[in-house]
Chains A and B, each alone.
Chain A
Amino acid sequence: MGDVAVVEASGLGHEYSTAGVTTRILGSLEFIVASGEFVCIVGPSGVGKTTLLRCLAGLLRPTFGSITVDGHPIARGNSALSLVFQDYGRSLLPWLTVLANVALPLKGTAPRAERRDRAVSALHEVGLGDVLENYPWQLSGGMQQRVAIARALVVEPRVILMDEPFASVDAQTREALEDLVLRIRNHGGMSVVLITHDIDEAIYLADRVIVLGGRPAEVRANIPIPFGRHREQLATKAEPEFAELRARVHQLIGAPDDGRRPAADQGNPRDEGARQ
């Protein structure tokens, strides 16, 4: 793992205005992602994880602060960053074959033969070398998400962003996809930023877990995960440290933050004392 920061967020904040009411979603986030690092961002649902990811992906201009990739401000369609969406069923284009879906980001930037070669090798990397001419909707959910991963790989990004990428596949497929993403990172050396609400998944995959919490969201903790590069579903999750980390992250996500608590919890203030 290099120490060079690839992604750098400083004072990153965002607010929405609807009907004259301004809601601050992201407070003032500070974090970096190092070269080759696997960072998982966790937090309770509704904390603003997706807003953060959309800012990182260049789909949303943050209201405050800045994000840079390799020192340059985020720009739309920056090929240093690529994105795997949560909903593969909607993010893959049903009118294009698997191969054409993966080659799409290269259109207009590389000659046809090169586009094809790069798309084929990205598909081989995710183990889908034999369904090039099929349509995505002919594949199972797990295979479709692998197509989406191949599409993210094809631009040879410095950072892959993933938004709850395995939320809608079954447990076995999910483990296979997790290991696939780890293997791709180890092999390709890119950084990965993965957003999830699943604490186990975050600890299993990450070199570092960033816990978001509060309203507006702040970085509550930066937790290094000491399992090294090679992980195994059963062995890694059986480590005593895994259980400790899980408990710690759990507490961070669940614990109220300096008096500011999720709206749903504000009913009974006396709860506070009872909890700790």
Chain B
Amino acid sequence: MSSYVGRLTLELWLPVVLVALWWFASMNSTSAFFPPLRRIVQDTVDVWFIQGHISSDVLPSLTNLLFGYAIALTVGVALGLLLGLMPRLYDALEPELEFLRAVPAVAILPVAIIAIGLGDDMRITVIAFGSFWPILVNTVAGIRSTDPVVKDVATAFGLRPATRLFSVRLPSAAPQILAGARTALSIAVVLILVSEMSGAFRGLGNFVLAAQRNFAITDMWSGMIILGMLGYLVNIIFRVVESQILRWHPAYREGAKWVTSQ
């Protein structure tokens, strides 16, 4: 219990100090661009929770994030499995894949707008495209690095292809796939915003941009606070899911009971 409190203290001391600094430094600010934190907090509560922008702007953004990320995960892992299991195919496609991977996801935004339009399907596509690459690359690497002894086990016991795939290769690559998925998640959060900065009439990105253009600076700051909280929350959810999937992994074995008796 005390170690839990200790860890929480360790994690929270810096944010607390920074917020306090911001609070006191901005207390008497008269600058239109850097309003006092107190007003930003009041405004955040007012705009997002009382006026209900959570459901009108955050929810659509979250939905796009979920769909885009889910597509990236599904296609990235499936294709990664295929390419990981067929090294020749991977080698044949590598230059093209490297080229596409090097294109910053932001750069495909204009193309996506022309090809798909200004709707949510365009935004979902951009999020999916950007977060797809780290998942693909890490899945391929994870599948390729399966321990040869583990492969021998699968061969010697004549495991069925489906068993081989879902009970052996995929779990053995899971740590690396999840590392890719984590990188992909932060890219996806960035892309929600970027994709909403053109042609969107709702969503967090649109809200922040519109607030800045209308000189509603406090609103703009409140949007950024909501964004930060959203990113943090999404990351926590990811960590919980990851620690469940990898509970067998040495990095997550903490607290597991060892059986010592023979």
- Report if A11 contacts B (CB, 8 A): no
A109 to B159 Cα, complex, angstroms? 10
- Chain B hits for A135, CB < 8 A: 248, 256
Min C-beta distance of A62 to chain B, whole Å: 16
**Interface residues as binary, B242-261 with A (CB distance below 8 Å gives 1, 0 otherwise):** 00000011100100111110
Name the residue among A104, A134, A173 with the largest chain B CB count within 10 angstroms: A104
The stretch of B30-38, B53-61, B74-82, B162-170 in contact with A is B162-170
Contact of A63 with B by CB under 8 A: no
Residues of A within 8 A of B248 (CB): 94-96, 135, 137
Find chain B residues with CB under 8 A from A87 CB: 149
**B152 to A85, Cβ gap below 8 A?**
yes
B147 close to A (CB within 8 Å): yes
Tell me the chain A residues, 137-167 only, with Cβ under 8 Å from chain B. Answer: 137-140, 142-143, 151, 155
Q: Which residues of A contact B216 (CB under 8 A)?
A: none
User: Taking the nearest CB of chain B, how far is it from the CB of A53, in angstroms?
Assistant: 10
Q: Determine, out of A71-79, A181-189, A213-221, the stretch whose residues face the partner at the interface.
A: A71-79
The complex places the Cα of A82 from the Cα of B158 at a distance, in Å, of: 10
Q: Which residues from 38 to 79 on chain A have a C-beta closer than 8 Å to any C-beta of chain B? A: 57-59, 76-79
B170 to chain A, nearest CB (A): 10
Q: How many residues of B contact A (CB 8 A)?
A: 28
The residues of B that contact A57 with a CB separation of less than 8 Å are 156
Contact present for A105 and B256 (CB under 8 Å): no
Instruction: Please give, as numbers and ranges, the residues of chain B lying within 8 Å of A253 by CB-CB distance.
Output: none
* A3 CB, min distance to chain B CBs, angstroms: 28
Query: A95 — which chain B residues lie within 8 A by C-beta?
Result: 171-172, 174, 248-249
Would you call B158 and A77 a contact (CB within 8 A)?
yes
Which one of B167, B171, B249 lies within 8 Å of A107 (CB-CB)? B167
Bound-state CA distance A131–B258 (Å) is 11
Residue A222, interface by CB 8 Å: no
In chain A, positions 219-264 with a C-beta closer than 8 Å to chain B are none
* Cβ–Cβ < 8 Å partners of B99 in chain A: none
Q: State whether the Cβ of A90 lies closer than 8 Å to any Cβ in chain B.
A: yes
User: Which residues of A lie under 8 Å from residue B13 when comparing CB positions?
Assistant: none
Once the chains are docked, how many angstroms separate the CA of A139 from the CA of B262? Answer: 9
Minimum CB–CB distance for B169 against chain A, Å: 11
C-alpha gap A79/B155 in the complex (Å): 11
With A90-B147, A91-B150 already in contact, the answer to whether A104 and B259 are too (CB < 8 A) is no
A77/B262 in contact, CB under 8 A: no
Choose from B149, B157, B162, B259 the contact partner of A77 (Cβ within 8 Å): B157
A104-B163, A138-B258, A138-B259 as given contacts; A155 in contact with B155, CB under 8 Å: no
Closest to A104 in B: B167
Main secondary structure of the interface of A (DSSP, over half): loop
Inter-chain CA distance A57–B157, complex, in Å, is 9
Q: Which residues of B contact A139 (CB under 8 A)?
A: 258-259
Contact indicator A91/B149 (Cβ below 8 Å): yes
Please measure, in the bound complex, the distance between the C-alpha atom of A109 and the C-alpha atom of B163, giving whole angstroms: 11
A77 to chain B, nearest CB (A): 1
CA distance A96 to B174 in the complex (A): 13
Residue of B nearest to A176 (CB): B262
Question: Which residues from chain A contact B172 at a C-beta distance below 8 Å?
Answer: 93, 95
User: Pick the contact of B156 from A59, A109, A140, A173 — CB < 8 Å?
Assistant: A59
CA distance A119 to B77 in the complex (A): 31
Q: Are B259 and A58 in contact (CB under 8 A)?
A: no
Q: Mark B150-193, 1 if CB is under 8 A from A, else 0.
A: 10110111111011000110011010000000000000000000
A86-104 CB contact bits vs B (8 Å, 1 = yes)? 0100110111100000001
Are B262's CB and A140's CB within 8 A? Answer: yes
B152–A108 CB distance below 8 A: no
Q: Which residues of B contact A137 (CB under 8 A)?
A: 248, 250, 253
What is the bound-complex CA distance between A155 and B162, given in angstroms? 19
Assess the B260–A83 pair: CB atoms within 8 A.
no
CB contacts (< 8 Å) of A104 on chain B: these are: 157, 159, 163, 167
| Closest chain A residue, CB of each to CB of B147 | A90
Structural contact, B158 and A78, CB atoms closer than 8 A: yes
Question: Are B167 and A138 closer than 8 Å at their CB atoms?
Answer: no
Chain B residue nearest in CB terms to A94: B248
Instruction: Give 1 or 0 for each of A102-124: 1 = CB within 8 Å of chain B CB.
Output: 00110111000000000000000
Over the window 50-91 of chain B, the binary record of Cβ atoms lying under 8 Å from chain A Cβ atoms (1 yes, 0 no) is 000000000000000000000000000000000000000000
Q: Which residues of A contact B160 (CB under 8 A)?
A: 107-109
From A96, A134, A155, contact of B157 by CB (8 A): A155
Query: Could you give 7 example pairs across A and B, Cβ below 8 Å?
Result: A78-B158, A82-B156, A93-B150, A93-B171, A95-B174, A140-B259, A140-B260
3 cross-chain pairs, A with B, having the tightest CB-CB distances, nearest first = A77-B158, A108-B160, A105-B157
Q: A58-B156, A59-B156, A143-B262 are in contact. List 4 more A-B contacts (CB 8 A).
A: A108-B160, A134-B259, A137-B248, A139-B258
